[in-house]
Amino acid sequence: MSFSTCKPIACLILAFASAGHVQAQEKTIRLGMAKTFVAERPKGFIDIATGEFKDVLKKTTGLNGNLDSKNDAIEVADKLAKKQVDFGIFHAHEFAWAQKKHPGLEALLLAPGKYRLERAYLIVHKTDAAKGIGDLAGKKLDVAEGTSEPCRLFLNKLCQDQAKKAPMAFFAAVAKSESPKDALDEVARGNVQATVVDRTVLEFYREVRGPVFDKNLRILAESPSFPPAVIAWQKGGVDDATLSQFRDGLLKAHTIADGRDMMKTWNIEMFETPAKEYTGQLTELLKAFPSP
């Protein structure tokens, strides 16, 4: 039936149905992701990774999404409070910092990796006599491309606690391998004296290069636990229907091939709702890493 041949009441019904369909298709979710997730990543990686996320968002929730990764965590939180974005994506420590400024921020979904509680590790050569980071002052460090933000935070805290200096000033030189695995190789060869990696990288390296690790490497220092990254919203900033549609769709992302591929890119096992202990984990994290 066309609009030119239908009866007036039928035309009116069709017109409203058509308008509602267009409106649903055009609904766009605004997401702000803390730029620390893509720090020092090439533009090609960022375009692919954010494109994958938007594709999976559409397939699982039916919602279009714009994902902006240009702001730091507090700027994303400020935009949530002003309703300039609908959802924010934070590392756990960033979310804890943001909640201190904006108590209305709430965790909606967690994005745990293979190890739901991550750690950062400062790695040196097995023959290195260093007993703490103070013994590495003036030596050479390797912070590889793709080093996670918790690793960078932990390294900075170690240097600040020891000498009130940033890593670039604490070490004589800071190299930048193409991957954390390459950085571990560089320490094993004796080309640099230390690197920092997270648990995911460390366990993978032990799995594929176990004899190299056992013979040449050791852990000098390890961080407290880091809870999973979080997708958050400002209470009252999103209507209930959209909130449910967004949350329930992403909870199923691991059930489709594109979702699993996307999560592999971001080192996510699956999305899940926060458990009660998440709040306590954030409290403990704030004690170890107070907000700047």
List pLDDT tens digits, range 211-246. Answer: 999 999 999 999 999 999 999 999 999 999 999 999
What pLDDT, on the 0 to 100 scale, is given for residue 26?
58
Q: Is the pLDDT of residue 7 over 50?
A: no
At 32, list the tokens: 């702000």
72 pLDDT higher than 80:
yes
- pLDDT for res 292: 84
Domain ranges of the chain: 8-113+227-288, 120-222
Mean pLDDT, to the nearest integer, of 65-76? Answer: 95
pLDDT of residue 2: 43
Q: Average pLDDT of 57-75?
A: 95
pLDDT confidence band for 49 (50 / 70 / 90): confident
> Global pTM?
0.87
SS3 category, 16: helix
* pLDDT-derived band at 14, boundaries 50, 70, 90: very low
136 has pLDDT over 60: yes
Residue 40 is predicted with a pLDDT of 80
Give me the pLDDT at residue 3, please. 37
- Angle of CA points 32, 33, 34, to nearest 5°: 120
Q: Please state which CATH number belongs to domain 8-113+227-288.
A: 3.40.190.10
Average pLDDT for 185-205: 97
Q: Which CATH architecture has domain 120-222?
A: 3-Layer(aba) Sandwich (3.40)
Specify whether the backbone of 149 is left (phi greater than 0), alpha (psi in -120 to 50) or beta: alpha
pLDDT digits (tens, 9 = 90+) for 105-123: 999 999 999 998 999 999 9
Q: If you write DSSP's letter for every residue of 180-216 in order, what string do you get?
A: HHHHHHHHHHTSSSEEEEEHHHHHHHHHHSHHHHHHH
Percent helix, percent strand, percent coil in the chain, to nearest 5: 50, 20, 30
As a whole number of angstroms, the distance between CA 275 and CA 87 comes to: 19
Domains 8-113+227-288 and 120-222 share a fold: yes
In the predicted model, what is the mean pLDDT of the chain? 91
Share of the chain above pLDDT 70, in %: 91
Q: Report which of residues 43 and 190 the model is more confident about.
A: 190
Residue 9: pLDDT band (50, 70, 90) is very low
Q: What is the pLDDT of residues 173-184, one digit of tens each?
A: 999 999 999 999
Quick one: 54 exposed, middle or buried, by C-beta within 10 A (0-12, 13-18, 19+)?
middle
